[in-house]
Amino acid sequence: MASQKSDTDPKPRRTRKRTPKPPPPPPAEDLPAGDVPVAEGAVALDTAAPAAPAWFPPYIYGLHEAGGEQLMIDAGRLGWVLELASVGLDGGGGTNADFTRLSGRGLGVVVRMHNGYEPAGSIPKPERYDDFARSCAAFVARSQGCKTWIIGNEPNHGAERPDGQFIFPKQYADCYRRCRTAIHQVPGHADDLVLVAGPAPWNAETRYDGNPGGDWAKYFA
């Protein structure tokens, strides 16, 4: 006679497989120098600083004309030094073109080339743009220690006009292009950075059709 199962018989137990826990990370003092334990499930992050674009300026600080650069050097904060060159129409004549005294100390050098001071004008009259471009190129050719140039200064400012003649945006752009092209044709300077002049943002002296208020931002744009 088959035996009957009693209600008091113990029920079979289900067994559940347990995933073994990973061993704990070794103490930090047991790791090679520079290594640290990583928590389970942690995601590694790339903490390396991204590479700066090639066109990104290497310096933040700067000053207008040499004389205070030692302050940057002593502070360990190298920066730009803006120098001025009145090149006229003859390549700058006796204007010093050696800037290695600055670049040789790790400083960045920017040279602003202009035709002359009032009333000569930051750039000359339109009929002399080619002469001015050749003069800028001649100055660059005999220069040392500079690869960054600015053409003219604040062309919307009345004091920068040649003999009081307005410099309109299209005229400045024409002069700038001629100078930039001439500079890039100088051996060893094909990759030089040639910058446009900064406008004078505090005045409204140059007014014309399309900009009756003399807005410097419209002039620059």
The mean pLDDT of 91-119, rounded to a whole number, is 94
- 158-185 pLDDT, tens digit per residue, is 999 999 999 999 999 999 999 999 999 9
- Residue 109's Cβ-count burial label (10 Å; 0-12, 13-18, 19+) is buried
Asked whether the CA dihedral 193, 197, 202, 206 is positive or negative, the reply is negative
Q: What is the pTM of this model?
A: 0.75
The mean pLDDT of 130-157, rounded to a whole number, is 97
- Residue 35 is predicted with a pLDDT of 56
Which of these ranges, 25-39, 53-67, 93-107, 192-206, has the smallest mean pLDDT? 25-39
- 6-42 pLDDT, tens digit per residue, is 555 555 566 566 666 666 665 655 555 555 555 555 5
**Residue 57 forms beta bridges with which residues?**
none
- The rounded distance, in Å, linking the Cα atoms of 103 and 107 is 5
- Residue 10 is predicted with a pLDDT of 55
- The rounded distance, in Å, linking the Cα atoms of 70 and 81 is 11
Q: What is the DSSP letter of 163?
A: G
Name the amino acid, one letter, at 106.
Answer: G
More confident residue, 136 or 55: 136
Can you give the residue ranges of every domain in the chain?
A: 62-220
